[in-house]
Amino acid sequence: MTTPPDLVPGTRDRRRREPTSVLFACTLNRVRSPMAEALAKRVVGTRVFIDSVGVRPEAQSGEDEVDPFLAEVLDEIGLDPVRHKPKSFDQLEDASFDLVISLSPEAHHQAMELTRTMDCEVEYWPMPDPTAVEGTRDMRLDAYRQLRDMLMKRIHERLAPKPLGSL
């Protein structure tokens, strides 16, 4: 038996709805979730509210600045993350989202806790952490580019406007 196209494994109510607000979550809100936020805003424009958070709010010296590799790979496609300031789930002004997309195991656990009493879909998109890649500058940039491209593909599949008449 095949799974109907409107069923999404790992979501709370398993029905795919067109969200009006989306929250991307990762561990520190420094690379994966802000990258997803910037990419999603490009794809959906202003028709969907997009935000991002991290599980851990602690900021160490210099961590309030945008990751330079993140800035570079977004700049390559004409996006500028300069205004992004990392924040945690606790710092959300409004936790009312239609869809929470978690990008790390820790964030997925926190997202499930946040939404257990809410009518909200939660999707887990496990994404590699490019900050864990060691090597030359080019090797590290390639890891960020791979993440960017993986996120863009998933965002288009899930959030891009559908043509009229398509299911």
pTM: 0.84
**Domains defined for the chain, CATH in brackets:** 21-155 (3.40.50.2300)
CA distance 87 to 64: 9
Amino acid at 131: T
Percent of the chain residues topping a pLDDT of 70: 82
- Looking at the DSSP bridge assignments, the partners of residue 124 are 102
- Looking at the DSSP bridge assignments, the partners of residue 21 are 49
pLDDT digits (tens, 9 = 90+) for 100-153: 999 999 999 999 998 888 889 999 999 999 999 999 999 999 999 999 999 999
